[in-house]
Amino acid sequence: MTSSAFSLEPESLGKTLGETVRGRLVGLIIRGEFAEGERLYPDQLAAKFGVSITPVREALMQLAAEGFIENIQRRGFHIRVPTADQIRNVWHVRQGLEICAGEQVIKRLENKGLEVEALERLDALQQAQLQNTQKMDHATKLELNGSFHATIIEFAENPILASFYRSLQHKVVGGLVQRGLDSWRTRVEMEGREHKAIVDALKAKDYPKYEKAVREHIQRSLNDALRDLAARP
């Protein structure tokens, strides 16, 4: 599958070129294009993406600040598998942002800024994840799950929240930690039930139910990410 097939991520306003480049770099990481410890050359990536070296450096520095890439003096940027603490930190912030987003989505549904029918996009993304589970590759699964969650963020219509969320890169964790493992496949159906609980709570405009569903989903997902990390060879 080519990178152009991955256009599921909502294109939010205010995305900088650095963020776009980072998104494409993350796409390569989750498709397993780089080995653990592999060096990333900014000039090669700039040529690959057809951009100047500045946004590539910006994207690499950002991913390095988040700890997904190691920036070694005079030896450049290298791919790094995240630590358990890093995963916990990402999931903790992610949980907070997704709860905050849902609260705004429910408010928008209540005052008719958003129609309940719009939530059918979430059903469609969820259905796509449940179809062909056995044939689906890991990158597609990460993209579909990422799009499901990013769509809830998009529905909140809060550019500041969206910007923080985009910088989280939990898909990178999945891409690096679950590489070579098949454990994610056994969890697709359970994730489907959890996603349905999240969408049902939004449709019902039931904030306590939404918050509970998100907490359960993200906590379970964190536990599995840590289990995957421990299972890595």
Give residues in contact with Zn ion (CB under 5 A).
145
Q: Give start and end residues of each alpha helix (H) in the chain.
A: 17-30, 42-49, 53-65, 84-110, 120-130, 138-155, 159-166, 170-177, 183-186, 188-203, 207-231
Minimum gap (Å) between residue 81 Cβ and Zn ion: 21
Distance of closest approach, residue 145 Cβ to Zn ion, in angstroms:
5
Residue with tokens 């309940």: 116
Nearer to Zn ion, 22 or 141 (CB): 141
Of 3 and 219, which has the nearer Cβ to Zn ion? Answer: 219
What are φ and ψ of residue 139, in 5° steps?
Answer: -65, -40
Query: Rounded to the nearest whole angstrom, what is the least distance from the CB of residue 191 to Zn ion in the complex?
Result: 5
In the complex, residue closest to Zn ion by CB: 145
Decide whether 140 or 145 has the Cβ nearer to Zn ion: 145
In the complex, the smallest distance separating the C-beta of residue 49 from Zn ion, rounded to whole angstroms, is: 28
CB of residue 152 vs Zn ion: minimum separation in angstroms? Answer: 10
How far is 105 from 198, CA to CA, in rounded Å? Answer: 12
Looking at the Cβ atoms of 104 and 151, the one nearer to Zn ion is: 151
Question: Would residue 35 be called left, alpha or beta, if left means φ above 0 and alpha means ψ between -120 and 50 degrees?
Answer: beta
Adjacent-strand bridge partners of 69: 79
| Number of C-beta neighbours around residue 218 at 10 A | 20
Tally of CB atoms within 10 A around 149: 25
Q: How far apart are CA 217 and CA 126, in angstroms?
A: 14
**221 vs 95, 144, 153, 162, CA distance in Å?**
11, 15, 18, 21
The minimum distance between CB 91 and Zn ion, in angstroms, equals 11
Nearer to Zn ion, 60 or 152 (CB): 152
C-beta of 62 vs 145, nearer to Zn ion: 145
